[in-house]
Structures are given as C-alpha cells and as structure tokens.
Amino acid sequence: MATDTQIASRDQIGRRQVLRTIGIILLQLLMTAILVSFLIPTLWMISSSLKATTEVFVHPIKWIPSDPQWKNYAEVFKRLPFAKFAWNTLIVTGGAVLGTIFSSITVGYSFARLKWPGRNFFFALMVATMLLPEVITLIPRFILFRQLDWIDTFLPLIVPYWCGATSLYIFLVHQFFRGIPIELEEAALIDGANRFQILSQILVPLSKPVIATVGVFALIQHYNEFLTPLIYLNSMDNWVMALGVRALNDSNAANWELVFAASTLMLIPVLILFIFAQRYFVQGITMTGFGGR
C-alpha cells in the first residue's frame, strides 16, 4: 500500500500538472488576443478595399461590404500605371536584396574568419553605425549621388547595398559564421581549398537559415521603402509601388478604397514569401544567438 508521503507526492505532482495546463491555456489565450489585435487593421484594410467610398469610414465598422466592389482593384491600374510600378519595384527590390545578401556574406566572413590589421576596430566601428539614424546621412548621400548623376535612376536604391550599407545584416551573418566550427575550415585549408572555395562550398551551404533571414528582412525593408524612392525618383516611369499607393490619394478627392486595394496588392507577395520562408526565418534568428565561440 502507498504511504502517506507517496500519496502527498502524487497529489503535489497532480496539482503542478493542473497549474501547468492552466498556465499554458492562459498563455495561448493571451497570444491569440495579441494576434487578433495585430490582424484587425489588416483585415479592415482588406475589407475596405472592397467597399464603396461611403462605406469605408462608417460607424460602427462594417466588416462585410454590402456590395463588394471588385472593380476597385481594376481601377487602381486605370488610375496609374501600377503594373509599371510593380516591375520597377521588382527590379529595385531584387537588386538591393541580392546586393545585401552578397555584401553581408563577404563582409561577415571577413570579420569572422580572416585576420587582418584593425579588424576588431573596424568591426566595432561598423556595429556602432547601427546606432546612427539614417536621416543623418540623408543629405550627404543625396549630394554624392547628385554629383554622380544618379538622381532619377535606380542606382541609389541598389548600389549602396552591394557595398555593405546595412550593418545589422553583416552582424547577423558574422555571428552565424562564428558559430560554425573552425575545424571545418582548417580541414579544407589542409586539403588545399582557398578562401573563396571555403566560403562558397562550405560556409554558405551551412548558412541557409541566416541567409534566408537576411533575405526576408532585406526584402521587406526595400519592398516597403518610401522615403528613399521619394527623394531619388522624380519621373513617374521610375516610381515604385510605395510611391504609387501614396499618389492614389494625392488628389482633392479621397480615394481610400483604392489606397486599400493597392495596399492589399502590395501585401500579397510579402505574405506568400513569409509563409514559405518562415521555417528558415525562425531558425536563422535562433541560431545567430549562439555565436561568439
């Protein structure tokens, strides 16, 4: 027969399991509430993209349109050359993302693995630039690009990112590379591999999570960028989608249903990308925390 101590121990374990279950349920409810609070503006935007002008700001909110206005999406392309804006966005975003990934890998590898004079100083200097607001360098960059005759071209939106313009991504790749055992690189050097072969054939294949993370972050950054294209792109033929969305509401008459329709069109590609890349995205964020070895 079980002793009183054993019975008390079983009761205590049972109470702990009940409390743990209650805690998990409460946490799930809290996270669900937070998720819904974040989704409500997006759902309202999608709903409003199908409303007539008179229904957009009615009170109380009308979540389901009385007569869905699918023509709002067609009207977006009639008002402005939105297909051209989408193509320009693809060029700018694709070039900037590829440049960000390339420069982050090469510069991150140099700081993580190569030994050269002043490496620690320049790495600390690079990390310190993350504290520098981008608006501070806005005027000097504009003067430089104007002297290079790059105004109203895509070059100011692409070229700087091939030169390591974003310190955060370099830092993430650097931390990830430092988490990879150095013995792999030493074995490759003994076998006669050069630095380029080590980087391209060993480190890059092992770094898919952090590369996907940098790619997703950079894509969202450049895809949604508004201020930089506003400064450097003057002609409508060079506009990106972010400028097109703003232009839909520049007239005297408010066209919020068209703005919401265009915003919904902008949301779809990023949402699809995140759904397919979320596994690598979460893994990359997690594993970059194990650097420093």
Assigned token pair, 95: 């070039």
**CB proximity list for 182: less than 8 A, separation 6 or greater:** 113
Assigned token pair, 255: 């066209």
> Does residue 217 fall inside a structural domain?
yes
- Say if residue 43 is in the same domain as residue 79: no
Assigned token pair, 207: 């770094």
Residue recorded with tokens 């590898």: 109
pLDDT tens over the chain, length 293 residues: 456 565 666 667 777 788 888 888 998 899 888 888 888 888 888 888 888 877 877 778 788 888 888 888 888 888 888 889 999 999 999 999 999 999 999 999 989 888 888 888 998 888 888 888 888 888 899 999 999 999 999 999 999 999 888 888 999 888 888 888 888 888 888 888 888 888 888 888 888 888 888 888 898 889 988 989 999 998 888 999 989 888 887 655 567 888 888 888 888 888 887 777 666 666 655 555 444 44
Q: What is the rounded distance in angstroms from the CA atom of residue 24 to the CA atom of residue 13?
A: 16
Q: pTM of this prediction? A: 0.80
- Say if residue 142 is in the same domain as residue 238: yes
Q: In whole angstroms, how far apart are CA 160 and each of 136, 154, 155, 156, 233?
A: 16, 11, 8, 7, 16
CB 45 within 8 A of CB 263: yes
- Say if residue 8 is in the same domain as residue 141: no
- Say if residue 150 is in the same domain as residue 205: yes
Structural domain span for residue 239: 75-290
- The number of distinct structural domains making up the chain is 2
